[in-house]
Structure 1
């Protein structure tokens, strides 16, 4: 680490993008390319996996738990498990095939699909609450476990298709889907920083669409819950 601190140009290069290695007092990288706080990260991963698997086990064994709400929650648990295994465990993220154009994009599609699907499922939960409060008669007539399963399947499928389309642009334009993380100092990205003392990531159209689902889902959820609060206040006034 002393060698890194004595070379401010190298640190400035690596710190030019938040997706690259961050060298500061909180997150440091040793000679093996691993985070000093990896043990705490693994504890968080272990707790997350245990809690999500426990919930899935309870839903699977208790028939009374198989309701509309738990269909959504179970799929959120599955999405969390995938994210924890693929993205949070250093051994997986550090050895990801970021050096190859196609394999890197495939890895990112697999890693980001549960991220988008979880946002979609949360939005479905908000929509269900909206229908139950603002349109109760219609909700009682149409709400069912089978319908929820169809909606969840559509959320997963649409998330997968969206991820493929987003990263397909990288393949067509002959750009790598680079998986940045805490990797070895022998990473070609860091070697490039050593040579040029600067890193200027090329902008891509896919970068804009990566955050678009989050913005849309956030806006939709805010609108739905605002309507729910307004309807609840009206009902209280009438009562």
Structure 2
């Protein structure tokens, strides 16, 4: 199996390796579970609490993360050509942003739970749906800002003779998967 740094691969297949099948199954299971949670929150009125809205946002971030990784794996190992690093860029940008979003949202949930336990009366007064929506919006903005240095590094392409940063990241990721596969 050979990989080149230009983003083109030569016939890597998902079906030939049990490891890849397990990874894809776990990704699909994660997408299914997060989608079920979304469905429950939308359909069951009693589940529409502030904490569940925060968890719903976390679920959306996880679904975006898993979906982008699934698309990347299918393209990389399905024998498709990653067209001029576009697929790699989209995948890694969504990974950076959703990872930051997940960390921020877990922090927001922790603060909200702390207030609910340690200061229940104050928590009830300040935790509103409007504040929840603002917190979610601000968390996405902050996650984009925090992830922007990595995204900008991926966009910036050195001289024509050198690979771009995102091509190098994709190459490193594929090499890591290749080594992991050999160990199994």
Tell me if TM exceeds 0.5.
yes
| C-alpha displacement of 1:97 | 4.7
Matched, 1:56 2:38: yes
| C-alpha displacement of 1:165 | 3.0
Q: Distance in 1 between matches of 2:49 and 2:37?
A: 14
Contact 2:68/2:90 (<8 A) preserved: no
Q: What are the residue-to-residue correspondences of 1:212-231 with 2, within 5 Å?
A: none
| C-alpha displacement of 1:115 | 1.2
Contact 1:99/1:176 (<8 A) preserved: no
Residue 154 (structure 1) aligns with: 138
Q: Distance in 2 between matches of 1:164 and 1:74?
A: 24
Q: Decide whether aligned partners of structure 1 residues 92 and 134 sit closer, same or farther in structure 2, where only a CA change above 3 A counts.
A: farther
> Unaligned stretches of 5+ in structure 2?
3-9, 159-163, 176-184
Residue 41 (structure 1) aligns with: 23
> Unaligned stretches of 5+ in structure 1?
5-30, 184-239
Matched, 1:114 2:106: no
Q: What secondary structure is seen at the aligned counterpart in 2 of 1:177? A: helix
| C-alpha displacement of 1:164 | 2.0
| C-alpha displacement of 1:140 | 1.4
| C-alpha displacement of 1:121 | 0.5
| C-alpha displacement of 1:166 | 3.0
Residue 139 (structure 1) aligns with: 123
Q: Decide whether aligned partners of structure 1 residues 49 and 173 sit closer, same or farther in structure 2, where only a CA change above 3 A counts.
A: closer
Contact 2:104/2:139 (<8 A) preserved: yes
Deviation sequence 1:152-181 (CA, Å, 0-9, x none): 111112111222233324545735223243
Q: What are the residue-to-residue correspondences of 1:18-29 with 2, within 5 Å?
A: none
Residue 176 (structure 1) aligns with: 165
| C-alpha displacement of 1:182 | 3.4
Q: Decide whether aligned partners of structure 1 residues 176 and 69 sit closer, same or farther in structure 2, where only a CA change above 3 A counts.
A: same
Residue 74 (structure 2) aligns with: 91
Contact 2:96/2:147 (<8 A) preserved: yes
Larger Cα-atom Rg: 1
Residue 68 (structure 1) aligns with: 50
Contact 1:79/1:117 (<8 A) preserved: yes
